[in-house]
Amino acid sequence: MMKRIITVGTDTSYAGALRDGDPVSQRGTTNRRPTQADVGRLAGVSSGVVSAVVNNRMDGSVRVGREAEARVRAAIAKLGYVPNMAARQLAGGRNDVIGVFTYSPIFPTAAEDFYYPMLQGIEEAAEHAGQNLLLFTGGPVSPEGTRMIYRDGVNSLQLADGSILLGRDSDSEEVRRLSADGYPFVYIGRHTEEHGDVSYVTANYAEATTAAVTRAVGLGHRQVAMIATDLWHPAMADRAEGFHAARAALGLDTAPVYSVPSTDPVDDLVASVIDQGVTCVFVADCLVARAAVAVATARGLRVPEDFSVVSLSDYPGGTDPELNRVTSVLTPTLDLGRVSVSLLVELLTADAREPVSRVVACGFRDGETLARVAA
């Protein structure tokens, strides 16, 4: 077992220093670590001055001259003083730690096609901004298996200077409380004012949906419909809003929006819209798109020659080639991650913490399920 490496000075005025040859029974525990008081004593300054130097707050309430700073730094080197990061945070400093919290019971990597690129964007941007990332994989979990931010009244995100929250099924009460507590955070996903002062990053789902419908109408489709799932969710509500806007702007007679629970099969509904003469259906995600293609094919229709299907989200996609062939609005997951970091860093360094939001543009995959309407 190696001995702790400590530089020991010959300055006899400092009595607290360790002498070479002191017995070492337990690594790092018997050897008392030099404290800020020790550094101050050796440098001939107060602990407050040492703290100001260590935490780079030399132009704050404690003013430190250049000469005193040099003495403190020399004493730090001589004693091998190591500031404690937890102490630095307590002293009002920051540790350059950004937290990532998800309400999903499983950490993002399990949902590879959606959360993973988001996390990747967060990691890239954090690295670029010189921020460490604290993934709250170990937080409290409710009896229902969802993660919680608060346990016994303790905000488990506190160890991070600020956090990025993601996951569809957020706990409004917790988000409100976080906001009321003044904890800096950015939500990925649109939030309404009822959640308190929430800063968020979202995608332009409404505009992207309008653009997708406009494209289909440009290909001759006049009978379109939308099958939405979980319409209570802002991201889906935005898509429905964009669909309605397209109908109004393009002067379509009928363009119904159906809302179904995400757990329900859509086969009968797809069959019904086909019977109504719809030639292009816009659906919530690629799984619904696959189901719609199957229904149309079973009825003897060719996709996309006779019937077009557009997914308003590329989720889930990933490695399934069939799902990746669906013409689809692309969620800008990587960018959402990146922008959430820059927004949070902005919040952390700003004087005032007024809630802010950013909107990121969606992409579009020109897949194989949308074509010019049959003549």
Residues forming the site for a second copy (CB under 8 A)? 1-5, 27-29, 76-77, 80-87, 89-90, 95-97, 106-107, 109-110, 119-120, 123-124, 126-127, 129-139, 152-156, 158-159, 176-177, 179-183, 196-197, 353
For residues 83 and 290, give the distance between their C-alpha atoms in angstroms, rounded to a whole number.
Answer: 57
Closest residue by Cα to residue 292 from 275, 310, 277? 310
Query: Of the candidates 365, 373, 336, which has an alpha carbon nearest to the alpha carbon of residue 120?
Result: 336
Between 123 and 241, CB nearer to a second copy? 123
Whether 338 contacts 121, CB under 8 Å: yes
Q: Which is nearer to a second copy, 104 or 272 (CB)?
A: 104
Least distance CB 53 / a second copy (angstroms): 11
Closest to a second copy by CB, 36 vs 308, is 36
Beta carbons within 8 Å of 369's beta carbon, 6+ residues apart: 289, 293, 303, 304, 308, 309, 310, 311, 325, 326, 327
CB of 139 to a second copy, least distance (A): 7
Q: Supply the minimum distance, in Å, between the C-beta of residue 7 and a second copy.
A: 10
Name 187's bridge partners: 165, 200
- Distance in Å, CB of 46 to a second copy, minimum: 20
Q: Pick between residue 99 and residue 242 the one whose CB is nearest to a second copy.
A: 99
Q: Are 149 and 139 in contact (CB under 8 A)?
A: yes
Compare residues 122 and 312 and give the one whose CB is closer to a second copy: 122
**Minimal distance, residue 216 CB to a second copy, in Å:** 31
Shortest separation between residue 115's beta carbon and a second copy, angstroms? 11
Choice between 191 and 221, CB closer to a second copy = 191
R_g of the chain, CA atoms, integer Å: 29
In angstroms, rounded to a whole number, what is the distance separating the alpha carbons of residues 146 and 126? 26
- HSE-CB at 345 with a 13 A cutoff on CA atoms is 18
CA atoms of 199 and 186, how far apart (whole Å) = 5
Q: The tokens of 317 are what?
A: 């996609």
